[in-house]
Amino acid sequence: MSQPVVHIQNLNLKYKHKVVLRDLNWTINRGDNWVLNGISGSGKTSLAKIITGTQSAVGNIDINFDTTSKLSARVMYVESWYQFKNLEGVANFYYQQRYTSLQVKETLTVEAELKLFGKENSLDFAQAEIIINALGFAGQKTSQLIELSSGEHKKLQLVKALWLKPQLLIIDQPYTGLDVNSRKSLNDLLDGIAKAGVNLILICNDTELPESINRFALLENGQIVEVSSAGRLQLDTDYSLGEIPEFLRKSPDYSSESIIRMVNINISYGEKQVLKNINWEVNKGERWLLQGHNGSGKSTLLSLVNGDHPQAYANELYLFGNRRGSGESIWDIKQRIGLISPEFHWYFDTSSTVWQSVASGLYDNFGLQLELPYTKAKQVDDLVAYFGLTDIKNETMGTLPLGKQRLVLLARTIIKNPELLILDEPCQGLDQQQTQYFNCLVDELCSNGMTLVYVGHYESALPTTLEKRILLDKGNVKVIEEINITEEAYSSSN
């Protein structure tokens, strides 16, 4: 009988005074392909890093590679969060830099990054090309790393992992940021490498999984609990919202009937045209769903609205009734907008406490050093309590699991009751309970008249308040229509 690939005995991990893993035992045999789920903060990512050898813990872990296999004798971990570096080896970027320095060669291109990875691991680039094409990633080969969206960064890491074919591959949130077609293609690719002998561990709460997945487990109370099927992995989503803070029960103080108006908007980077003749109008109180394949132009479109893209001045763009460039500052625009996006999260200062981070949304900065007046401080306290964050309000963001960080940023986004709420895949990193909780909150907020632009791929993870949809395809507006999110037709069209 062959040895198991991974054999874990009595694994223990504490963070400060919290027990994360408690006498955990887990055996992964050859041919076992697992999905692991659990609430945010349960220790899934820590366990993955311990297996990979990048985080220490108390206990025994034996990893046994097959010395007769042609597969790489490695454990590879694809993180849910990827931090890239510039050409000088520095990772200290700022949020708007993605749009303000695209003509400057500050980071490697996708193709250069992959060729470097291939050289380091003695891989044939022709094999990478097959994976790139299967994931619909060929159009980004000449893009710099700083230009990529969160979904495109995920694809880059997946290409590396699928190309390398390690004997054990652990992927944290494999479908994060991927559109419907890319998720299907990824499942086919994962089935292919599993057939070749790669053992898989997918950390996720998705139900549309590769056919090769044959083992299922929850991480509960610091231990592995095996279950019989993917359906058993679904967490209890019975949420009862508390009373929404009083300052968020009133309608935003609108300055104009028109919130966004775009007239023949075109955005190009050299020869590459990202947006083509976009015409779109959003009026106050409307709730829009923005969709499109990865790389369709969604992030660029939102960067124009949020005041981050310099090419806004070369186009006919009206925000809150004023033409862009007519004298308003970027801070005049941002004061009217609440924004959350994966890219914004990348660049957020995680040295601030939870309370400071939420409060910073009042002034659109990345931290808060000044003292707030009593009424503003009470708003922060009320919102922190509403999101269930009171017990961790003095902890720094960097010490929290990703899901908790995202909840803090969501609270920050709505603290000023903005005229326009932009939620770009806001539930990335949240478990099912947190996702339902937040979308119920969005529904309640918008019932009082808040204007919403929401980016999301999953029909099951959308607020019910959405009423209109704009669909982008290769930089063009493909569809503008009225929607009912209980319908299934549009969920499969992007």
The pLDDT assigned to 477 comes to: 96
Task: DSSP letter for 77, please.
Answer: E
Give residue 129's pLDDT band: very low, low, confident or very high (50, 70, 90). Answer: very high
Mean pLDDT value across residues 263-288 = 92
Give residue 365's pLDDT band: very low, low, confident or very high (50, 70, 90). Answer: low
Give residue 317's pLDDT band: very low, low, confident or very high (50, 70, 90). Answer: very high
Portions of the chain given CATH number 3.40.50.300? 6-233, 246-492
The pLDDT assigned to 205 comes to: 81
Distance CA 343, CA 404 (A): 17
The pLDDT assigned to 167 comes to: 97
Mean pLDDT value across residues 182-204 = 96
Q: Is the pLDDT of residue 45 over 80?
A: yes
Higher pLDDT, 79 or 489: 79
Render pLDDT for 346-355 as a digit per residue (tens, 0 to 9): 778 888 999 9
The pLDDT assigned to 202 comes to: 97
DSSP β-ladder status, 6-15 and 18-28? antiparallel
Task: Please report how the helices 402-414 and 432-446 are oriented relative to each other, as an axis angle in degrees rounded to 10.
Answer: 10
Lowest average pLDDT, out of 82-86, 370-374, 423-427, goes to: 82-86
Give residue 390's pLDDT band: very low, low, confident or very high (50, 70, 90). Answer: very high
Q: Is the pLDDT of residue 476 over 90?
A: yes
The pLDDT assigned to 368 comes to: 55
The pLDDT assigned to 9 comes to: 96
Render pLDDT for 391-419 as a digit per residue (tens, 0 to 9): 999 999 988 887 788 889 989 999 999 99
Q: Is the pLDDT of residue 343 over 50?
A: yes
Distance CA 210, CA 188 (A): 7
Distance CA 446, CA 249 (A): 10
Give residue 236's pLDDT band: very low, low, confident or very high (50, 70, 90). Answer: low
The pLDDT assigned to 419 comes to: 94
Using alpha carbons, select from 492, 406, 443 the residue that is nearest to residue 287. 443
Render pLDDT for 251-266 as a digit per residue (tens, 0 to 9): 999 989 999 999 999 9
Q: Is the pLDDT of residue 101 over 50?
A: no
Phi, psi dihedrals of residue 243, rounded to the nearest 5°: -75, 130
Rounded to the nearest integer, the mean pLDDT of the chain is: 86
The pLDDT assigned to 126 comes to: 96
Q: Is the pLDDT of residue 93 over 80?
A: no
Phi, psi dihedrals of residue 125, rounded to the nearest 5°: -65, -25
Distance of alpha carbon 398 from the chain centroid: 16
Lowest average pLDDT, out of 6-20, 142-156, 377-391, 470-484, goes to: 142-156
Q: Is the pLDDT of residue 159 over 90?
A: yes
Place of tokens 């939420």: 358
Give residue 370's pLDDT band: very low, low, confident or very high (50, 70, 90). Answer: low
Q: Which CATH architecture has domain 246-492?
A: 3-Layer(aba) Sandwich (3.40)
Q: Is the pLDDT of residue 240 over 80?
A: no
Count of helix runs (H) and strand runs (E) in the chain: 13, 19
DSSP β-ladder status, 316-319 and 258-269? antiparallel
Give residue 87's pLDDT band: very low, low, confident or very high (50, 70, 90). Answer: low
Q: Is the pLDDT of residue 213 over 60?
A: yes
The pLDDT assigned to 94 comes to: 42
Q: Is the pLDDT of residue 90 over 50?
A: no
Higher pLDDT, 104 or 151: 151
Q: Is the pLDDT of residue 173 over 50?
A: yes
Distance CA 16, CA 18 (A): 6
Percent of the chain with pLDDT over 90: 53
Neighbour tally for 481: CB within 10 Å: 10
The pLDDT assigned to 147 comes to: 78
What CATH number does domain 6-233 carry, 3.40.50.300, 1.10.10.10, 3.40.50.150, 3.40.50.1370?
3.40.50.300
Mean pLDDT value across residues 285-308 = 89
Mean pLDDT value across residues 215-236 = 85
Neighbour tally for 365: CB within 10 Å: 15
Render pLDDT for 132-143 as a digit per residue (tens, 0 to 9): 999 999 988 988
Mean pLDDT value across residues 42-60 = 94
